[in-house]
Amino acid sequence: MTNTISCSDGSIAAGEQLAGSAPNAVAWVALEQSGPWGPKALTDSHLDKDLGRAIEAVAATHHTRASLIRRPGRHADKHASTPADSRHLLVAFTHPDNTWLLVGELDSPEQVLLLDWAALQRGDLEAVRRSLPALEQSFRPHLLVCTNGTRDVCCATKGRPVALGLAKLFTENVWEVTHTSGHRLAPTTVLLPAGTLHGRLDIEAAAGVLRAAERGDTVLRGSRGRSTWPAAAQVAELAVRDETGEISLTALAVTAHNETAPQDWVTEVRHVDGRTWQVHTTARASDVQRAESCGKALIPMTYYVTALTPLPR
């Protein structure tokens, strides 16, 4: 059976959880590429296909999410015939104990391969800076809004208005991005450098995420999780935040995460003040069906159940 409504409306109607739906990546690399994007933008845009494949490969090897970005609004094909011109690059490491963001302009997109990807994976800020001296550390959070309608129409119809409205409020640190996963949760965003993702945002809510990040905080409503952790650990961290009301981006870290049985995990979440929780998370299949993307068949959705146990200090 196929879906007769948009995947995002179907997800809302199904009451699908957002927690645990963020992709798992300890780092993000976002390269500016104007003009049209195809469904798999790194190899389906004006970016050289061989370069796109090389970026995909090295990023996957180093637990890094690679994406293309562009400024919100009309997208002139200025990079179509001049592939060697400069473009922005964002490089972020997401772990709450060592979160940082580098930004700058490259003389050509091929320079992204000069990045010390191994250093990025381990969070070595200075080594990454040495590999690409054009990058400088930024202490301003950047918000990326998924708008790639060729991958899923919901990203265009729901994401682009948010990107355009947000860009009027924050001119320098808002970007359109090719893919954050989870089309059915559109409009979706990723916050760098924290690597926190949110879904089902309007302009006001997206602005709230960015303003909170400028204070060093996150927003619990609409949170999909922090990409630093695998899905069940994202759920566990958010369960602790829901229990305690903690919103500081750097207050919590996952210190242990183990699958104890199929679809069953035990996670330890530590607070900077020394408190620790053991979170038992179970994934269950629902009888309710929804489509993962527009035009795809309806399938049962998965939901998570958690139980928290405070551990002695």
Q: What is the pLDDT of residue 151?
A: 82
Per-residue pLDDT band at 107 (split at 50, 70, 90): very high
Q: Beta strand pairing status for 27-32 and 64-70?
A: parallel
Mean pLDDT taken over the chain? 94
Three-class DSSP labels, 232-300: HHHHHHHHHHHHHCCCECCCEEEEEEEEEECCEEEEEEEECCCCEEEEEEEEEEEEEEECCCCCCECEE
Burial of 96 (0-12, 13-18, 19+ CB in 10 A): buried
**Segment among 95-104, 114-123, 143-152 with least mean pLDDT:** 143-152
Beta strands in 71-221, from DSSP E residues, in sequence order: 87-93, 100-106, 136-138, 142-146, 174-177, 189-192, 196-198
Tell me what the mean pLDDT of segment 177-204 comes to: 95
Tell me what the mean pLDDT of segment 13-38 comes to: 96
- Neighbour tally for 126: CB within 10 Å: 9
- Which pLDDT tens digit goes with each residue over 74-88? 765 655 544 457 899
At residue 188, the 3 state secondary structure works out as: coil
Q: What residues does 136 pair with on adjacent strands?
A: 103
User: What structural domains and CATH numbers belong to the chain?
Assistant: 7-20+142-311 (3.40.30.10), 27-138 (no CATH)
Per-residue pLDDT band at 120 (split at 50, 70, 90): very high
Is residue 80 left, alpha or beta, with left meaning phi > 0 and alpha meaning psi from -120 to 50? alpha
Nearest 5°: phi and psi at 268? Answer: -105, 130
pLDDT surpasses 60 at 283: yes
At residue 65, the 3 state secondary structure works out as: strand
Tell me what the mean pLDDT of segment 202-230 comes to: 98
Per-residue pLDDT band at 149 (split at 50, 70, 90): confident
Q: What is the pLDDT of residue 147?
A: 94
Helix 153-169 × helix 7-14 angle, to 10°? 90
- Compute CA distances 14 → 8, 185, 290, whole Å: 10, 12, 7
pLDDT surpasses 70 at 235: yes
Q: What is the pLDDT of residue 81?
A: 45
Tell me how many degrees the CA angle 238-99-32 measures, rounded to the nearest 5.
100
Tell me what the mean pLDDT of segment 219-247 comes to: 98
At residue 46, the 3 state secondary structure works out as: coil
Tell me what the mean pLDDT of segment 229-247 comes to: 98
